[in-house]
Chain A
Amino acid sequence: MFKQAFMNFSDSHLIVLGFILFMGTFLGALIWTLFVQNKLFYKQMSEIPLNKGGENGKQ
């Protein structure tokens, strides 16, 4: 099946490399976001536009 899928691709090693890098980036971002960082950090980050200065923020 893989052979068939790639028969129309030249430089298939580049495609595979791109796919691996994409999956790595995506899974990395997913793991980082869901498991490494904590909820409190996200809460603090999401409130930056509201808490820290600006005209209608909670100064």
Chain B
Amino acid sequence: MNNNDIKTNYYDDDIVRKFAMITLVWAGVAFLVGLIAALQLAFWPLNGGLEWITFGRLRPLHTNAAIFAFAGNAIFGGMYHSTQRLLRTRLFSDTLSRIHFWGWQLVILCAAISLPLGFTQGKEYAELEWPIDILITLVWVVFAINFFGTLYKRREKHMYVAIWFYIATILTVAVLHIVNSIAIPFSFMKSYTVWAGMQDALVQWWYGHNAVAFFLTTPFLGLMYYYVPKILNAPIYSYRLSIIHFWALVFIYIWAGPHHLLYTSLPDWLQTLGMVFSVMLWAPSWGGMINGLLTFKGRWHLVRSEPVWKFLIAALTFYGMATFEGPLLSIKSVSALGHYTDWIVGHVHGGALGWNGFMIFAMLYYLVPKLWNTELYSKKLAEQHFWLGLVGIILYYVSMVVAGVTQGLMWKAVDSNGLLVYPEFIETVVRIIPLYWIRALGGLLYIIGFVLMVYNIVKTVKSKKAPLTDTAIANLVNENVKDNQPRLLEGYATVFSVLALLAVLVGTVIEIYPTLNVHRYVNPEITTQPFSALEQEGRDLYVREGCYLCHSQQIRPLVDEKLRYGDPSTIEESIYDHPYQWGSKRTGPDLARLGKKYPDMWHYRHMLDPREIQPKSIMPAYDWLAKKNIDYSQIKKKLNVLKNLGVPYTDEQVQNADVDAEAQAKVISEGLKQKGVAEKIENKEIIAMIAYLQALGQKGKK
């Protein structure tokens, strides 16, 4: 058999095997890093005093590994496997498939190295710096060419609904990544996003929410529409429903991003729009779940003996739960309680571990025996994996929802005199630490189940009966794509792709376009001063350490927040923030009005040892800030880039940035010396950090 025969008559199974195996590797990394991060919240010394594995740097590594490495590789493997079979042709190019595979692993490797080193753009799920962003774009283009090339050479005229979801995924992720990642570099691994403040918040959550939608939902729905019928050997319950499901979902999802910014200084109309469209998402999401579950109709009795079926049913159930809870949390009054708390963490993990994780496990349990031409080594181990995983998710989810609701209610508790019942933030943290241990136990059970799976898969692969070969393409004579018979919309890949892209772009344009002119929303009586050179340097350190992952900088116009933190945040206050640092979680208190609240010495002691200020604090010590020198060599470049992005620095401020920064550092360090600090700290990073923290809430005042 020559190379041409293989390319014409056989599917490329080798690339699917590669993606399947690497999925397991990165899953292990993502889960383990997640467990360590979870344990650090229950027991703060677990970072071992090492900056590289401190929570603020570890958490982005966990989320990126889980989303882009674990789920990403699984998606690519599943898409390449199912697309070939649904279109009855080998992938467009073996070379592009391999460039895609190795390129994506390079992206992940770069992320795994750069994130612990503190190279981050400071935007959730989009932390990777500009050279890696460019690499992602190139790999995605290779993937797109390979996929659409396969569509072009297909033998099956009409595209099955799974292919639609794949098309929407590839096009939308490209748009999201490019728009959100636009940045101006000032060094090899550092840049400032072109978006600022409220605008950046909107673009970031338009991206962030749709990363969930078009990276963790639409491709998985495509996989569901292929693998559920395939594993059950029965067609999907209602093909009609799948069509309505697709169009309604891709149209509505893109509008929902602003529900992450309810009660913030984002314009009200955007918040309302985000909330309304989020609630509307209930219908298509549940349509998809019901369609999947009803495919089991008449076969429920078989679920008892088939662990893979159990994974599918649980995955669909978690999809239903997560897509019920998401719109619920998007209602403003519910968001007032749940936002910034661990409830959101529970919600996300219900979807990620239950829907994405279980769907991937089901797919791999089905695929590996097929691809290695053998039987699954042990159904019993798969069964045990399922129950361990399920109990793990339930423990995780319940503990986090209870923690979130508890903390949310404690934050809000006001007595009959109109005073906070729990004025000390730490009281609300200590109360939920036992739940952090339960969360970690849930995660551990999930990982033990995963280890059983790895063992099961390795034994299965080792039991292969013959040398590995690719699967022959069935029904080769059918070339109905070239039969000159009339087609329906599903038969025109280009027209279909354009329509899907338009459905996504409508919401994008309507939400983002008006905010491009941010001055429409700004009070003209307020003049916002930009950060000084040293404060900006401190801000970059704040971003490097991932402080935004535990501290928000956005006070909502709610009674308890006004009592605890002060006046609600305004658009003006963050108008020059590249990137915005509003945050999405309050493991510690909001910092929007921290500046001038405490003396410099308080911050110095607190950063070096938080327990010295608050004995029960779970914040790690940042003693390396007092050891590392400020890099004054970059400051001019930084201010110059920011000036070009619209921050009102004068030419003189840019030219004298390093001198000004050193002068301000000297003033702060002299003050600290007078208070008894003996160490030589004038050029240390902690001085820049103190300068920034003292500037918070001092800009954009009336």
Contact = CB atoms under 8 A, between A and B. Distances in A.
Interface of A: 8-11, 14-15, 17-18, 21-22, 25-26, 28-30, 32-34, 37, 41-50, 52-57, 59
Q: Which residue of A8, A37, A47, A53 has the most chain B CB atoms within 10 A of its CB atom?
A: A53
Contacts of A18: 255, 506-507, 510
B229 A8 contact: no
28 contacts: A8-B272, A11-B269, A14-B513, A14-B514, A15-B269, A15-B273, A18-B255, A18-B510, A21-B506, A22-B252, A25-B503, A28-B247, A29-B247, A33-B243, A45-B239, A48-B156, A48-B160, A49-B85, A49-B160, A49-B226, A49-B229, A50-B233, A52-B85, A52-B86, A52-B88, A53-B475, A57-B474, A59-B475
Contacts of B506: 18, 21-22
Q: Which 3 A-B pairs have the closest CB atoms?
A: A53-B474, A46-B235, A9-B269
Contacts of B161: 45
Interface in B483-527: 488-490, 503, 506-507, 510, 513-514, 520
Contacts of B596: none
A29 B272 CA distance: 26
B510 A17 contact: yes
Chain B binding surface SS class: helix
B471 interface: yes
Chain A binding surface SS class: helix
Q: Which residue of A9, A18, A33, A46 has the most chain B CB atoms within 10 A of its CB atom?
A: A46
A50 B234 CA distance: 7
A45 B160 contact: yes
Interface string B242-267: 01100110011001000000000001
Contacts of B235: 43, 46-47, 49-50
Contacts of B473: 53
B293 to A, nearest CB: 16
B267 A52 contact: no
Q: Which residue of B162, B226, B229, B240 has the most chain A CB atoms within 10 A of its CB atom?
A: B240
B681 interface: no
Interface residues of B, number: 46
B251 A26 contact: yes
A11 B286 CA distance: 32
A32 B273 CA distance: 28
A4 B514 CA distance: 21
B427 interface: no
B18 interface: no
Given A26-B247, A52-B475, A55-B370, A11 B514 contact: yes
B510 A45 contact: no
B158 interface: yes
B218 to A, nearest CB: 16
Contacts of A41: 488
A41 B486 CA distance: 13
Contact of B240 (A21, A34, A55): A34
A29 B370 CA distance: 36
Contacts of B269: 8-11, 15
Contacts of B520: 10
Nearest to A44: B158
B488 A37 contact: yes
